[in-house]
Homo-oligomer: A and B are copies of this chain.
Amino acid sequence: MNVDGKPYRSIWVNSDGWSVDIIDQTRLPHEFSVLNLQNLAQACAAIRDMAVRGAPLIGSTAAYGYYLALNTDGSDKNLATAYDELLQTRPTAVNLRWALDRIRGKVAALPAAQRAENAFAEAAAIAELDVETNRQIGLHGLKLIEQIAAQKADDEAVNILTHCNAGWLATVDWGTATAPIYMAHEAGIPLHVWVDETRPRNQGASLTAWELQHHAVPHTLIVDNAGGHLMQTGAVDLCLVGSDRTTRSGDVCNKIGTYLKALAAADNGIPFYVCLPSSTIDWTISDGLQQVPIEQRNGIEVSQVSGRLKNGEITSVSIVTEGTPVANPAFDVTPAKLVSGLITEAGIIDATESEIGRAFARDSSN
């Protein structure tokens, strides 16, 4: 999507034709800074230091990183060690392993000298697949927004609330929850997005608001506490969120606080849709509350807030006294009963085991 009026993806091949550029997302929203990756070490650092984040983008960065490693040294030994090094950057990222396996599968049987070239093509294919998946999510979600817009006066905006960043910065392009929003904006439908700041890491304030600002989509930042009030007072027509993991029965694990917004949407009769690529459906589990382990992150994310001082310096301030006990669960589970539907690359489906199984032709009893 656009940055300063110019279209970008979150990862792309440099104009030199071989090295890879990414946006240093740790500097956002205060600074737009591009990092050039030329070797394995730089790619690993980009993932480890969270210059890139979001499962799909991590996968694509690992794929290009693997290519860069093989570009330096296409040997069997490097094929093995680069795989391991990249895998260690974010051990729990499912897309990372998937992308590495896919590249290795394509190039392992080739002569060393041909591996880089083929890895490059495969990394590009992985990135394109992500873009296409999100584009499909966007097209399906667009229909939903069109239906809401049709019930409004011509110039009346459709008000959408989103939580965290399931935007193009978390993917290669379009995003998941933002794909329908960008599609509707391009289609000329008047829109306004309520952006939850999403404590503790403030991805809404830092990333989603920044994305929407640069793509000229009208939006307003709010604290996470405000969404319920806005829904009670008719200021929200639709909630769109992403998902880190969805069970085969439609329970949605997403950024902490998603569940509270789903409750408020249900209480006020507002549609609450979850946008996800089918690759994030976990077919092995059914009961999200019982079966999805919730990551407990470092309390420093709660007690310290990062931002920009008046002098431009980016730093952190402590909002509590030293020694204040802090808990920091990173995700919660929204039960399927609160989900109006899942917007996937295959269409909009009910958040039920039978519908999910049917849509993706999986035998969900396995």
Contacts and interface: CB of A to CB of B under 8 A. Distances in A.
Interface of A: 29-30, 194, 197-200, 202, 205-206, 209-210, 213, 218-230, 232-233, 255-257, 259-261, 263-264, 267, 289, 294, 299, 302-309, 315-321, 323-329, 331-333
A289 to B, nearest CB: 6
A225 B257 contact: yes
A263 B280 CA distance: 28
Q: How many copies of this chain sit in the oligomeric assembly?
A: 2
A332 B229 contact: yes
A327 B220 contact: yes
Given A197-B199, A264-B259, A305 B333 contact: no
Nearest to A257: B225
B224 A257 contact: yes
B221 A326 contact: yes
B320 A317 contact: no
Contacts of A228: 257, 259-260, 263, 332
A281 B306 CA distance: 40
Contacts of A194: 327
Given A222-B326, A325-B219, A333 B260 contact: no
A222 B219 CA distance: 27
Given A202-B319, A317-B305, A332 B232 contact: yes
B260 A225 contact: yes
> Can you list the 3 inter-chain pairs with the closest CB atoms, starting with the nearest?
A225-B257, A307-B317, A229-B332
Given A224-B223, A317-B308, A317-B315, A209 B257 contact: no
Nearest to A309: B317
